[in-house]
């Protein structure tokens, strides 16, 4: 019924993302943040 801790850790290790996947996600998040905040800054500068 219940998995042991060792079995659970093995399952989690299989589903964990690779270093490349994590770096791509962080790059996408950073790029989106720069675009959003840059757009807001630009919009404020144009209006003000």
- List pLDDT tens digits, range 9-18: 888 777 777 8
Query: 19 — phi, psi (to 5°)?
Result: -60, -40
Which band of pLDDT confidence, cut at 50, 70 and 90, is reported for residue 46? Answer: very high
- pLDDT for res 36: 98
Question: For residues 8 and 27, what is the distance between their CA atoms, to the nearest angstrom?
Answer: 30
Residue predicted with more confidence, 36 or 7: 36
pLDDT tens per residue, range 9-43? 888 777 777 889 989 999 999 999 999 999 999 99
Sign of CA pseudo-dihedral 33, 39, 41, 42 = positive
């Amino acid at each position: 019924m219940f998995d042991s801790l060792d079995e659970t850790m093995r399952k989690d290790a299989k589903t964990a993302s690779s270093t490349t996947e994590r770096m791509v996600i962080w790059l996408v998040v950073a790029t989106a943040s720069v675009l959003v905040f840059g757009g807001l800054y630009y919009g404020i500068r144009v209006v003000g």
